[in-house]
């Protein structure tokens, strides 16, 4: 099955009870048994639920994995991965990661004796400098948020294999429509399904996908033992989202390209960060590991004026000023005052999050309306 067919049919079967084409929302915590242990494969919904199971099968299918696991949020999924580790273990992570991942690693798991190295991975060879005998996991996010840096998954996987380290890739920004990390050698793919997978800004959810049975069993154990699962209603919504992922992503990419090119040609814009530009520092890697470049774009205005950036995001009408990304509707964000406000100015500026940086999640509206909106807001 090819990707577009998988989004609709991958891992799915019609409901055995009445042949429902979409899996029903099994809004139940428990299941009747005829005799102790006499059940139909479902005992308690923290452990298994038919709607969640249909979704988990879909996750596995679209990422070319064998096993999928759904969680109550992206961070709950990351939390489960780190729980594979023991005190004394070390993790090498991208330095330019989602703020919530950074908070989970440093404020929760460092307290349990796990050591994190946050390193630049623009050149994957740099990772090897931080490998010790205790390194158990490499954590990669590509493209990164909000600077749209690209990390070479294949080269990172080669290092991970050489030292027998697990490689996990946060594939939230790219989605499997653009990039399939398991095929490039990663062991674990993670998603905030809140974003493109759900796609309609109506749920919060996380996912893990793996190929290896032993790794899957360890993660299922953690999922059940820690209990950070998602409910049947959200599972249904995410499954519905997946069925249009390919169509949405195609439009996100088309609109993203149009918006990136419009901004790059605008006399008031200093720089546009988007991996589809040939002058992006890792364009060659983006081109080889992604099938297109997505709808996430960041840009800075000439003069780098904080107040001007605020004025632009306030003036945008179709681009809603909001946290999050990946929905059908276009969103704007001002990292310096929103997602990255808690990071000291000198620190955030080191990674490029300057005062005038604006991040766009380009939706699937009409391209002309999006460009006209930017035109009236930027002036
Ligand atoms: C949003 C996000 C997360 C966290 O996911 P939640 O669903 O909000 O818990 C992790 N990684 C990336 C790249 C994200 O954008």
Phi-psi region of 198 (alpha: psi -120 to 50; beta: other; left: phi over 0): alpha
What number of H helices and E strands is found in the chain? 13, 12
What is the rounded CA–CA span in Å between residue 197 and residue 154?
Answer: 23
Tell me whether residue 46 is one of the annotated catalytic residues. Answer: yes
Each of the 379 residues of the chain gets a pLDDT tens digit; together they read 999 999 999 999 999 889 999 999 999 999 999 999 999 999 999 999 999 999 999 999 999 999 999 999 999 999 999 999 999 999 999 988 888 999 999 999 999 999 999 999 999 999 999 999 999 999 999 999 899 999 999 999 999 999 999 999 999 999 999 999 999 999 999 999 999 999 999 999 999 999 999 999 999 999 999 999 999 999 999 999 999 999 999 999 999 999 999 999 999 999 999 999 999 999 999 999 999 999 999 999 999 999 999 999 999 999 999 999 999 999 999 999 998 887 788 888 988 999 999 999 999 999 999 999 999 999 9
Q: What is the pLDDT of residue 292?
A: 98
Atom in ligand 1 nearest the alpha carbon of residue 78: 10
Tell me whether residue 218 is one of the annotated catalytic residues. Answer: no
Sign, CA torsion 350/352/353/357: positive
Q: Which residues line ligand 1 (CB under 6 A)?
A: 73-75, 98, 100-101, 141, 145, 170, 172-173, 192, 194-195, 204, 206
Alpha helices in the chain (DSSP H): 3-9, 50-62, 74-82, 99-103, 153-162, 175-178, 213-226, 232-242, 245-264, 283-289, 306-315, 345-350, 367-378
| Catalytic one of 195, 211, 248, 348 | 195
Q: What is the pLDDT of residue 248?
A: 98
Phi, psi torsion values for 207, nearest 5 degrees? -145, 150
Q: Which domains does the chain have, with CATH numbers?
A: 11-242 (3.40.640.10), 245-378 (3.90.1150.10)
| Catalytic one of 15, 31, 46, 212 | 46
330 Cα–ligand 1 center, Å = 17
Tell me whether residue 170 is one of the annotated catalytic residues. Answer: yes
What is the rounded CA–CA span in Å between residue 124 and residue 138?
Answer: 11
147 Cα–ligand 1 center, Å = 15
Give the DSSP per-residue string, 83-132. Answer: TT--TT-EEEEESS--HHHHHIIIIIIGGGT-EEEEE--SSGGGGGGG--
Q: What is the pLDDT of residue 339?
A: 84
Query: What are the angstrom distances between the C-alpha of 26 and each of 20, 59, 74?
Result: 12, 18, 22
Q: What is the pLDDT of residue 70?
A: 98
208 Cα–ligand 1 center, Å = 13
- Cα 327 to chain center, whole Å? 13
- CA-proximal residue: ligand 1, atom 8 (nearest): 74
Is the Cβ–Cβ distance between 140 and 168 less than 8 Å? yes
Residue of 96, 103, 139, 195 to mutate, ligand 1, most atoms within 8 A of C-beta? 195
């Amino acid at each position: 099955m090819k990707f577009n067919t998988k989004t609709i049919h991958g891992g799915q079967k019609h409901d055995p009870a009445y042949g429902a084409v979409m899996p029903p929302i099994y809004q139940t915590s428990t299941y009747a048994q005829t005799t102790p242990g006499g059940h139909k494969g479902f005992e308690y919904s923290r452990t298994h639920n038919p709607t969640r199971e249909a979704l988990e099968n879909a996750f596995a299918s679209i990422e070319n994995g064998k096993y999928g696991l759904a969680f109550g949020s992206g961070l709950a999924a990351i939390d489960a991965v780190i729980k594979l580790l023991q005190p004394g273990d070390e993790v090498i992570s991208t330095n330019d990661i989602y703020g919530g991942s950074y908070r989970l690693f440093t404020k929760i798991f460092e307290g349990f004796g796990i050591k994190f190295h946050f390193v630049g991975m623009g050149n994957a060879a740099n990772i090897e400098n931080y490998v010790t005998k205790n390194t158990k996991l490499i954590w990669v996010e590509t493209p990164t948020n909000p600077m749209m840096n690209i990390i070479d998954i294949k080269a990172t996987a080669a290092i991970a294999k050489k030292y027998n380290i697990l490689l996990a890739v946060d594939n939230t920004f790219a989605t499997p429509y653009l990039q399939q990390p398991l095929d490039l050698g990663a062991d674990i793919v993670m998603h905030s399904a809140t974003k493109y997978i759900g796609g309609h800004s109506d749920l919060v959810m996380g996912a893990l996908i793996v190929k290896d049975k032993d790794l899957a069993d360890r993660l299922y154990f953690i999922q059940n033992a820690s209990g950070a699962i998602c409910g049947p209603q959200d599972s249904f919504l995410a499954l519905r989202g997946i069925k249009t992922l390919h169509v949405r992503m195609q439009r996100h990419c088309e609109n993203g390209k149009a918006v990136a090119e419009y901004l790059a040609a605008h006399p008031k814009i200093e720089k546009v960060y988007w991996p589809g530009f040939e002058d992006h520092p890792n364009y060659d890697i983006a081109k080889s590991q992604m099938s297109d470049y997505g709808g996430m774009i960041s840009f800075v205005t000439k003069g780098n004026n904080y107040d001007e950036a605020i004025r632009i995001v306030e003036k945008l009408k179709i681009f809603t000023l909001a946290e999050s990304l990946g929905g059908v509707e276009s969103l704007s964000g001002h990292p310096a005052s929103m997602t990255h406000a808690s990071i000291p100015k000198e620190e955030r500026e080191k990674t490029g999050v300057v005062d005038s940086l604006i991040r766009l999640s380009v939706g699937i509206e009409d391209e002309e309306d999006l460009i006209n909106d930017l035109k009236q807001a930027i002036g």
